[in-house]
Structure 1
Amino acid sequence: MGRVRLTGRLVGDFSYATTGSARGRVLSARGLSAVRHESGVLAELDLDDVPPPPLRPSIVPATISAYGRRLWVADHELPQVVRLDDNGGLTEFVLPGRIYPDPSGHPWRVHADAEGCWVAGWDGVYRCADSGNVRRLGDRSVGISTTLDRMLLTCTGGKDRTLLGLWHPDGSHTDIDAPAGQVMAVTNRPGGFWVLVRRWTGLPRTGFVVAVDLDGALTIGPEIEDLDNDVVFTADPPQLFDLRGIIRALRPDLTVGEPVPGPLSGFRGGTADGWVWIMHHDRERALFDNRRYWHLTLVDPSTQDILTRVEVHTPDPDVTVDAEGTVWVTDAALAPAYSPSGTLPPPLHVADLLDNARTQRQTRQG
């Protein structure tokens, strides 16, 4: 009896077979015989007698970007970015932005380069310099972003137009109007970017590719039929990874080839230094496996070969690749998923590293 934490399928007044957890004081409990090969406990809980939840870690890694062997990490809710250096150093950046409690997505994306890091998200565009300074360069909401040669491309979709922004590290930027639609995916390419836009209306959904040059020139491609809700855009080779499990090559005139089968389907994906990563459910998961996890599969887009498959505990991770070729994934910690050498480094517990850095700083100051 007393305060305990129960996990598993909660069967009762909530719904049938609901995976999750309950917190409260146990008033009584008794074991149940196996039903459909499941054993369980019949527990009476006082849900009004709930202990305080555990303290939030100092940082919850959400998005990540690498340049060289430095890793830049943004928090899930707080306007906070941490840079992890290859010599063990750590620098904390506090953005002059807002807090997003329990957001349904990532409020900020980070894009590292030789002189710092871009941060683009729901409340604007920021530039973190290696010196430790942070500048807010704009307050527009950014849906999708990417970089090339220290230049940031931001995309803001709207009912009447799609607003693209080209941002320079000195803070200057150029706004470009593109046809209206939902920006589905972006990638950089030699001399600029490609942007995949899906029209707001019509079934099945159609769209088009926009080629953006670094000088702001636009080329609008012809109509593309039957665009899925989730698409990954690769530049080498140029192709659309439709997460329904099909691939279409992108031609120089911005038309696409016939769909061909891809290596697997999924519900979310992205690119990291040329690799494609795809999130999907464990197709061999046991029926009564109550663990909360998903699979992340890393794919070589040139050959469609699967490089690795790892278990992650969030359905919406972020992925980057450092100068050693190590693939890092945001989870409870920064988890290494793949290394060309075959030997993975240990996970990086960013909250512990940040706590230690803060303690050391306070000791020096006090």
Structure 2
Amino acid sequence: MRAVGVIVEYNPLHNGHLYHLKMARKRSGADVVIAVMSGNFLQRGEPAILDKWHRAEVALRHGADLVVELPFAYAVEPADRFAAGALKLLAALKCDSLAFGTENAALDYQKIGHRLAALPNLHYYFRDYQQTYATQLNQFYQATLQLNIDHPNQLLGLSYAAANAHLGQPLQLLPITRHYAQYQDQELNGTNIASARAIRRLVLHQAKVPAEIAAVVPPETLQALQQNQLLSWQNFYPFLRYRILSTPTAELAQTYQMTEGLEYRFHRAIKTATNFTSLLRGLKTKRYTYTRLQRLCLYVLLNVKPAAIRQMETHPYFHLLGFTAQGQAYLHQIKADLPFPLISRVSQKIGSEKGPLSLEIQTDAVYSLVNGREQNFNRPPLRIE
């Protein structure tokens, strides 16, 4: 059997994602679709609206055959590290191809990936402290590759291409054009496809899910949105505020990615911040994007240290969230050749402080404070017939 990979968040899964899953299978001719999916915290520094188990189940019912969790150490990172971690897992799972959504599917991503892979390490290349890294990166792409990165998914596509080119055996890249809704869209557009952002904007903090959501999501997503508490930064802000107020500056400085004296800005901003949005405004400078600051707030909330990130990077694993019968058959086919441990049940040893899932246990415990459900222990993989 052959497999195609997709890299997803499904926050929440909507009709555009169904199209992507369908086209991934069709374009690749694969027997199995493997989704590497972010867990309970997402790339832009946000908690997932629904937990990873709800999102994995809907994915398995609508085209995915295997859902593997993208570890926190990769899931809550800039596009290049996010892409590198996800591609590492898909390559290790013996995928032949990667299908991804983009605003410009006409680009030769395979060729561009090799050109990007030959460029210097851009994190150390840019030193203009009056501009964000994202702005400098876009200017660099314009100057060297004549590419204008106007959309987040286009940047992700290029990051996938570069990460893919670094693999020993690169996957075939299958760009799929996004239809109707773009990532930044905040309103429904009258079609049956809406952006996840627009859906979240409509459903969060309302007593009842609006009726128009039924037109843009599958029934299982609608049911999950109707029957579960929907989470956002608003739910976690009191915990973040406590963490900042109760943590000495020297200790706050040890947080992952806390650089250039930002710990002092945190202590100043929290004194007048009444909510998460006002905290971000108090932290904002020309040097840092809101997304960069959101991720840093998440690291503070979850007490993430550099050593925990390094531990996961040096001890990779697969955490299996669920499978179909076809996905299970594929796992039996490749299991003996997997280079990393396959974790289907989280034991006390696996979840211990020195275990491979220690960072996931630590971060998911905070999610469970609001969600109210255990996220790892006694949670076997979902099986969807």
TM-score, normalised with respect to structure 1: 0.26
Q: Which has the higher strand share?
A: 1
Highest RCO, 1 vs 2 (Cα 8 Å, sep ≥ 6): 2
TM-score, normalised with respect to structure 2: 0.25
Q: Which has the higher helix share?
A: 2
